Amino acid sequence: MFFTIFYFVLIGFFLGIFTGLVPGIHPNAVALLVSSMFIENPFLTSVLILSMAVTHTFLDFIPSMVMGVPDPDTALSVLPGHRLLLEGAGYEALYLTVIGGIVSMIIIILLLPPLAFSLGSVFWIIEKNIQWILIAIVTFMFLKDRNVRSILIFLASGIIGLMTINGNVFGNNVLFPMLTGMFGVSSIVYSLFKNVKIPAQSISTGIFEGKKLLFGGLVGTLSGILVGLLPGVGAAQATFLSQQVLRSKSERGFLVAIGGVNTTVAIMSIVSLFLVGKTRTGVGKIISEITEMNMTNMLIMLAVIIFVVGIASVSTLYLGRIIYRNIDKISYRKMNFFTLIVLSALVLYLNGGYGLLLMVVSGFIGLTTILLGVRRSYLMGCLILPTILFFL
């Protein structure tokens, strides 16, 4: 049985490398496909899906920071990651996200005992007051920034979200073109207009104090828990809120935090499934539909998570080292053009002409956000506003 589980873990690991490195391929879509292929053994299927999801949380920072094509959950890493990339410290930025994932995994596992006693009550309170909690979060962000442009961007993205998610104007499965436009296409177009050139990269990790790494990991863990509990709240808003509470504004510390968010969310999807029978993630929902989460399965999956975090972190740094060593030899402009064509083709294939139109409109809003200097977390209004109105 051990070797069989190990075999499925490895399959999931390599699938996670694929979904992490290829822009536009989300693990939820692959998880749905995998669940239909290996349904004869539901638990092993779940192990494979979990392994893929955890691996993805490490690898997807490479295209996020190199090409400006993030998964929605890594969108906020684009700007600080690019800044370090343009300083020749892109590998250091990647290293910090990897460390964040490792540190957050350790912290969340240590927090499992208190979570076991409190998570059920917390879930119940949130379910009864989701709309008011989201309104409070958005209000806090507005009051913190005190910027009318932030409100306009939030409303513009929220209206697009209402038209697509609730209004069904652009058809079904609209999250991919909408979020790709807002976060990915906008970054690529901005880079093309600025004619960005990537300097040679230093393959070093820099010097970052252990206390700051631990603190960043703590921010990432708290942010991941928020993402795992609140619908519509992404890594961007959660990390911003955690930073304000913990009074952390370090750019490198921020990369450690954002690196820990997705790993925490992956763990929380399994923990919450076991403790309260509910989960907020797509992968968690797929696993819940095919596998009974008892104590034995829970412990095996935690062991899988620890193992996969280890091999995924090493693989991310290894692949990142190869990419960053050679990135200055590649035409960044051509790479961005190629990525833009690939994303457009994917959207056209998956969502048709309406999806392509949605990507263009969303991309315009995202580009406007960059040009106005507004925090990109307000673009998540496309998910938060529909969620608030739905529960109201």
Higher pLDDT, 196 or 81: 81
Asked, for residue 375, whether it belongs to a domain, the answer is yes
Helix 112-145 to helix 210-229 angle (10° resolution) is 90
Could you tell me what percent of the chain has a pLDDT over 90? Answer: 16
Cα(273)–Cα(293) distance, rounded to whole angstroms?
A: 7
Q: Give the H/E segment covering residue 129.
A: helix 112-145
| Closest listed residue to residue 28, CA positions, set 61, 52, 62 | 52
> What's residue 69's pLDDT?
44
Higher pLDDT, 141 or 23: 141
Higher pLDDT, 31 or 157: 157
Cα(118)–Cα(109) distance, rounded to whole angstroms?
A: 15
Give me the domain span that covers residue 248: 2-196+206-391
Cα(187)–Cα(323) distance, rounded to whole angstroms?
A: 20
Kindly report, residue by residue over 15-62, the tens digit of the pLDDT.
999 888 876 566 776 777 777 676 678 888 889 999 999 999 899 888
Query: 71: pLDDT confidence band, cut at 50, 70 and 90?
Result: very low
> What's residue 77's pLDDT?
42
Helix 332-372 to helix 186-194 angle (10° resolution) is 110
> What's residue 70's pLDDT?
44
Mean pLDDT across 113-119: 82
CA distances from 1 to 5, 65, 287, 299 (A): 6, 39, 20, 15
Mean pLDDT across 275-299: 80
Asked, for residue 338, whether it belongs to a domain, the answer is yes
Asked, for residue 201, whether it belongs to a domain, the answer is no
| Closest listed residue to residue 69, CA positions, set 120, 20, 7 | 20
Query: 246: pLDDT confidence band, cut at 50, 70 and 90?
Result: low
- Residues 201/325, Cβ–Cβ less than 8 Å: yes
CA distances from 225 to 13, 34, 151, 158, 194 (A): 24, 27, 26, 24, 37
DSSP state letter for 280:
S
The tokens 């991310």 sit on which residue? 316
Query: 11: pLDDT confidence band, cut at 50, 70 and 90?
Result: very high
Higher pLDDT, 59 or 126: 59
Asked, for residue 219, whether it belongs to a domain, the answer is yes
> What's residue 39's pLDDT?
62
Cα(221)–Cα(238) distance, rounded to whole angstroms?
A: 10
**Which string of DSSP letters, residue by residue, matches 328-341?**
GGS-HHHHHHHHHH
**Helix-strand-coil split of the chain, %, nearest 5:** 80, 0, 20
Mean pLDDT across 250-273: 82
> What's residue 172's pLDDT?
54
Query: 138: pLDDT confidence band, cut at 50, 70 and 90?
Result: confident
Cα(296)–Cα(132) distance, rounded to whole angstroms?
A: 37
> What's residue 73's pLDDT?
45
| Number of structural domains found in the chain | 1
| Closest listed residue to residue 76, CA positions, set 159, 170, 182, 162 | 182
> What's residue 295's pLDDT?
86
Mean of the per-residue pLDDT values for the chain? 80
Cα(124)–Cα(309) distance, rounded to whole angstroms?
A: 30
| Closest listed residue to residue 360, CA positions, set 187, 181, 155 | 181
| Closest listed residue to residue 203, CA positions, set 108, 37, 300, 320 | 320
Indicate the residue type of 121: S
Kindly report, residue by residue over 326-383, the tens digit of the pLDDT.
877 777 778 778 878 888 887 888 778 888 898 999 999 988 988 888 877 788 888 8
> What's residue 195's pLDDT?
67
Cα(71)–Cα(358) distance, rounded to whole angstroms?
A: 17
Residues 6+ away with beta carbon under 8 Å from 392: 131
Higher pLDDT, 167 or 204: 204
Mean pLDDT across 120-124: 78
Asked, for residue 377, whether it belongs to a domain, the answer is yes
Query: Quick count: other Cβ atoms within 10 Å of Cβ 49?
Result: 28
159 phi and psi, to 5 degrees?
A: -65, -40
Asked, for residue 273, whether it belongs to a domain, the answer is yes
